[in-house]
Chain A
Amino acid sequence: MRRILPFLLLFAAVPLLAKEAPLTLYRDARFEIVPNGDPWAPAPDSLCAELRTVNPELGRPRCAVAGSLERNDAFRKYAAWLTANLRGNAASEDLEARHPEVRKILEDRRDDYLLLFKRSGNESWVVVFHDGKRGPSRLVRSNDKGSLDRIADLFSGPAVPIPTEKEREEAMKEPIAFYRDQTPVDFALTVGAGGIWGVGGHRGARIDHYTHNTDSASAWDWLHHASPALYVEYGVTYARFVGIGAFLEWSRFGMKYDEATNPGIEEWTVDRFEFGVRTHLGYTWLLTEKLEINPYLLLGFHFTAYNDHVEWESGAKRPMDGVFELVAVKGGSVGAGCALMHGGKWALRVETGLSNRSRKSRDNPVDGGALQDRPAESTFELFLRGGLSWNMRKWR
């Protein structure tokens, strides 16, 4: 459970991040009060005075009683209906106007703020229609005595000039800021660490002689099964979707040797260097404006080189008839990972998968003779890596 808790938290957090968009405020806008016969509704002059006081950014708001709406039968009906249906738990889509004429009226007043005030008992309501929506853009319920008390909360913040029709069209076509401001090509340098766990091989195997190790098909016959690893990767992704990178990974393994038949060896270790290319294919979701999550699938190809170190005891006789056979083999890896990136700059990534090394088929003897095993030609392992990457994404 502890292992999967971060994943659970991550997926649980996604719906919580969605929140109500703030009311767009326009400078020099028109505010209309729906006349619904409620004496609690403020006079236009006092509304305008309050608006100028609470938010100077609103410029010179104009306030009026929506007289034309009072004379409109359909709208008057809707206003009365809405006033009767204001309830704490009411879903906002259930309060939308259904009559086409009322919808047209609200669409026509897209740039204006249509306000409806209602007070019954201890409860007071302020309803705002804006942006041509079919229903209330804001519904505020409170127990305040004054009808203007909620105005400050509703209309505070920066205001913008009312956009023209052309500006509106352009804004509709524009991608969201996060994608608009970035070039698709993204170079990234990743540094990380992880672990390697060998699969297969004979766990109890021991190397008899320093120079005789040619009968081991899996490297895990002569290397200890697990090791920490360090890696560095430099790569490029396109549109956060497909990527390729070169990497170098280092790990160090102890050797499994028989001390009785290998006298004089004090310490015997092997450094493993793996270098190659890794491709990945993924998809990016934005969790918030800045935080993006990018799960991906990995496919890698690599060469492996082993470099062994033997510490001889002083005075020990070093065998001269041969050397430990070091084999560089080719291999591939498949896996899956996930990157969590902040601000398009720094990312934490975790990836896991299976990696192997094997002989190419053209190395088989042409005459069909017996296949000679070569060390480490069939080595499988599981890996788990964590890394920190620095993305050099360009911002326009």
Chain B
Amino acid sequence: MRSRRGLLAGLALALLVPLAGCAEKQAALWRANPAFADLPTGSLAVTKLVPEEFVLVGRDVFVEDLKIYSEDVHPVLLARSDSIFDAWARDALGSELRLGNPDSLGFAPRENHQVDGTVFVPVRWPWQGDLQRAGDAEPDLVLILGELTVGFDLRARSLYDYTLANSYSEPGEKPAALDAALVWTLWDNRLQQYRAYGIAQAERPLVRPLTLQALDELYAQLLIDLQRRTRLYREVAR
């Protein structure tokens, strides 16, 4: 009896173990450059958002709830986002250096880089060999803010994982959450190489009507995630 049970268990395991090996591992949402073991330190500059890379999903809801004209909603929220990021860089990171957006700085066109597994992000990086200057200063690090998507019931993973690219929510389903996903790169300006890049994300329960305060709370959560991912703290970023 014992040997038969053992045989059955052996057979089951022999079938299950290879199957378990095929089971997909959850891909990470950020990638650190393996060439560097140390945490990034030095002076930091933050770029602005590119208008084409600020995406509002479900714009009608923003127009309706925030009482902004349809043609104004994108520039208004973009300006607000930029000012929130500016204030965060100044207050949380202690960084006084400002850069323009990747378009005005002449960065390379969008390139898709692998984060992990099937997750790829579009990034705008400076050319290899191009040193960025903020006024007279040459920052050691540049935090490049890439594509920012704000919308309802979004998942960062399904935005950037190509195997989940065609997953849609059911029509008629009421959105339950307010989400934001930001593609970021921590760029080593001395070596013109990335230190880390990835996706920061935030999610809040959606309460209609939507208010600017709710958006601010969403951004606050997004910036906490960004700060955690980039490992940028006031102590290290002078």
Q: Is A17 an interface residue (CB 8 A)?
A: no
B13 in contact with A3 (CB, 8 Å): yes
Complex contacts, B36 vs chain A, CB 8 Å: 87, 89
Task: From known contacts A7-B14, A77-B129, A78-B128, infer whether A98 and B34 are also in contact, taking CB-CB under 8 Å.
Answer: no
A4 contacts B111, CB within 8 Å?
Answer: no
A89 lies within 8 A of B193 (CB): no
Proximity string of chain B (1-38) to chain A, C-beta cutoff 8 Å, 1 when within and 0 when not: 00010100011011001100100000000000111110
**Contact A89–B34 (Cβ < 8 Å):** yes
Candidates B35, B111, B130; contact of A85 at CB < 8 Å: B35
Determine the residue in chain A with the shortest Cβ distance to B34: A89
Residues of chain B within 8 A of A81, CB atoms compared = 128-129, 191-192
- Indicate whether B184 reaches chain A with its CB closer than 8 angstroms: no
- CB of A4 within 8 A of CB of B14, answer yes
Number of interface residues, chain A, beta carbon within 8 A: 23
Least distance between B76 CB and chain A CB atoms (Å): 35
Complex CA gap A82/B18 in Å reads 41
A90–B193 Cα distance when bound, in Å, is 11
Minimum CB–CB distance from B137 to chain A (whole Å) comes to 20
| A11, B18: Cβ atoms closer than 8 Å | yes
Give the contacting residue for A87; candidates B18, B35, B194; CB below 8 A: B35
**Is A90 within 8 A of B17, CB to CB?**
no
Q: Is A84 an interface residue (CB 8 A)?
A: yes
Q: Among residues 70 to 122 in chain A, which have CB atoms less than 8 Å away from a CB atom of chain B?
A: 77-78, 80-82, 84-85, 87-91, 94, 97-99
Partner of A89, one of B13, B37, B108: B37
Mask of B180-203 contacts with A, CB within 8 angstroms, 1/0: 000000000001111000000000
> Would A90 and B18 be within 8 Å (CB), given that A77-B128, A84-B191, A85-B191 are in contact?
no
Q: How far is the CB of A89 from chain B (nearest CB, A)?
A: 5
- A86 to B, closest residue via Cβ: B35
A370 CB-CB contact with B under 8 Å: no
Chain A residues, Cβ within 8 Å of B6: 3
Whole-angstrom CA separation of A85 from B129 in the bound complex: 11
B10 touches A94 (CB 8 A): no
Task: Indicate with 1 or 0, residue by residue over A1-44, a CB within 8 angstroms of chain B CB atoms.
Answer: 00110011001000000000000000000000000000000000
Closest to B18 in A: A11
Q: Is residue A190 within 8 Å, beta carbon to beta carbon, of the partner chain? A: no
B120 within 8 A of A: no
Which of chain B's residues have a CB closer than 8 A to the CB of A82?
Answer: 128
Q: How far is the CB of B234 from chain A (nearest CB, A)?
A: 28
Task: Determine the chain A residues whose CB is within 8 A of the CB of B34 once the complex forms.
Answer: 89-91
Instruction: Let me know if B108 and A98 touch, CB within 8 A.
Output: yes
Tell me, in angstroms, the Cα distance from A109 to B111 when the chains sit together: 24
Contact A89 B35 (CB under 8 A): yes
> A98 CA to B125 CA in the complex, in Å?
10
Is B21 in contact with A11, judged by CB distance below 8 angstroms? yes
A237 at the binding interface (Cβ < 8 Å)? no
Alpha-carbon distance between A3 and B108 when the two chains are bound, in angstroms: 55
A97, B108: Cα distance in complex, Å? 12
Q: Does A378 contact B (CB under 8 A)?
A: no
Q: A4-B10, A85-B193 are in contact. Are A98 and B129 (CB under 8 A)?
A: no
For A3, what are the chain B residues with a Cβ–Cβ distance below 8 Å? 6, 10, 13-14
CA A80 – CA B129 in complex, angstroms? 7
CA gap between A108 and B8 in the complex, in Å: 60
Q: Which 9 A-B pairs have the closest CB atoms?
A: A77-B129, A3-B10, A90-B35, A87-B35, A81-B128, A81-B129, A4-B13, A89-B34, A89-B35
Q: Which B residues are within 8 Å of any A CB, using their own CB?
A: 4, 6, 10-11, 13-14, 17-18, 21, 33-37, 108, 111, 125, 127-130, 191-194
